[in-house]
Amino acid sequence: MYAKTNVVVLKLSGSLFFSEEFERVVKAISNALHKRSGLQIAIVAGGGSKAREYIAVAAKAGADQATLDEIGIMVSRVNAFVLSSSLGELSATSVPHTLIEVVEAMKGARAVVLGGLHPGQSTNAVGTLVAEKLKAKKFVNATDVDGVYTRDPRKFEDAKRLDVVTPKELSKIIGSESMAAGAYDLMDPVALKLIERSQIHTWIIKCEAKIIEAALLDRKVVGTEIVFE
């Protein structure tokens, strides 16, 4: 069974940035930290549409995949810096670039915000690596959809949301997930393997302020929980 601490790792969809929901999510994170004194949050910011725009331009110019990944990492780190600045004194002032830096930053801050770490890793995988390193009590993946569906709900009207899913079941659902730079969405295979190997308590939820605050405070939420057989 995965070790428990007072740390929650929160992955935020890159689509949150440049949206009207951003300020509400900042307030929700602040509220959760004020309401639960022992809580610490490691937040991983995605790159979102801005990263994909830069990646598309660089790809058209002939950049290799590793370079495209690095571009996505840079953009996610800018998003992370914007979020950490918005959280003020609750957050560490610097954006960690390594797991060791994350650990050090968590020693003196209620919240630490980072972006990508290494080419070839999605920010979902970064979130699971941080959860492993910090022995987090929970990994919350806040995405563009409100959980795992049997099929893509944006394309198929008959898609049904699953309350719980095993890593094996989720692996089948995301089997066609692209590993190209900027293409990661719900959960990529690398992140899922990390979740499975350490049995990280994971929730996949909608990236909305009220839902995120509830998840951080261990309240009931609408979403999908990854369970282990």
pLDDT, position 151: 80
* DSSP structure class, residue 11: E
Compute the mean pLDDT over every residue in the chain, rounded to the nearest whole number: 91
DSSP 18: T
- Taking residues 20-39, report their average pLDDT: 96
pLDDT in tens, 161-200: 999 999 999 888 877 544 444 444 678 888 999 999 999 9
99-132: string of b/e by CB count within 10 Å (b at 16+)?
bebbeebbeebbbbbbbbbebebbbbbbbbbbbb
| Domain-wise residue ranges, the chain | 7-226
* CATH number given to 7-226: 3.40.1160.10
pTM confidence score: 0.92
User: What mean pLDDT comes out for the span 113-125?
Assistant: 94
Q: Are strands 223-226 and 164-165 parallel, antiparallel or unpaired?
A: parallel
* Per-residue pLDDT at 187: 83
**pLDDT tops 60 at residue 37:** yes
At residue 189, the pLDDT reads 86
More confident residue, 200 or 155: 200
